[in-house]
């Protein structure tokens, strides 16, 4: 994984999948590519329709406001549980 920043703002990102020998790369205004193939942008979904993962270190140190984001995600989960009575 490699990123290019200019004045603290991410400009380009590169991720190489060694097992599949695929390079994922992209940047704002460029789109995202797998090798040389432009990938379709994902559709926006509500948090309740997605999957939330949290790194324990980031949560513990509240990096990038991770603790607040985690609380919002759990509030969404609890709302879904109440609606569906799971």
Q: What does each of the 86 residues of the chain score in pLDDT, given as a tens digit? A: 999 999 988 899 999 999 999 999 999 889 999 999 999 987 877 766 777 676 778 777 887 777 776 666 666 666 655 555 54
Half-sphere exposure of 34 (CA within 13 A, CB side): 8
Residue 32 contacts residue 15 (beta carbons within 8 Å): no
pTM for the full predicted model: 0.53
DSSP one-letter string for 58-82: HHHHTGGGHHHHHHHHHHHHHHHHH
pLDDT of residue 74: 66
pLDDT of residue 17: 93
pLDDT of residue 21: 96
CA distance 17 to 74: 31
């Amino acid at each position: 994984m490699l990123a290019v920043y200019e004045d603290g703002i991410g400009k380009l990102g590169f991720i190489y999948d060694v097992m599949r020998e695929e390079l994922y790369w992209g940047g704002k205004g460029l789109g995202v590519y797998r090798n040389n193939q432009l990938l379709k942008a994902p559709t926006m979904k509500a948090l309740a329709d997605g999957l939330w993962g949290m790194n324990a270190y980031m949560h513990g140190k509240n990096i990038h406001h991770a603790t607040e984001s985690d609380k919002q995600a759990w509030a969404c989960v609890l709302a879904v549980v109440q609606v569906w009575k799971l």
